[in-house]
Amino acid sequence: MTRYTPLSGHPYHAKTEAELRYIIKDAGEAAVAMRGHSPGAEGKYLDQVNDACTVLAWRQKKEKTHA
């Protein structure tokens, strides 16, 4: 059975949990700041939040299945 890795090859996989949590916080704040000013920038920051959350959730799920 092949294991699925979301965002395979994404640089966020090399980041620590603390770094990913910082990205979520910082990019989330940046997205709010861009709301109404630059939809493209807002979307970019929201993508960063989503990617960091995806990697964290995958790690947590992986830990539970290997515990």
Average pLDDT for 28-52: 98
Residue 26, domain extent: 13-65
The answer to whether residue 38 is domain-embedded is yes
The answer to whether residue 27 is domain-embedded is yes
Tell me: pLDDT of 66 over 80.
no
Number of domains the chain contains: 1
Portion of the chain with pLDDT greater than 70, in percent:
96
What per-residue string of b and e applies to 27-47 under the rule 16 or more CB within 10 Å gives b?
A: bbebbeebeeeeeeebeebbe
The answer to whether residue 41 is domain-embedded is yes
* This prediction's pTM: 0.89
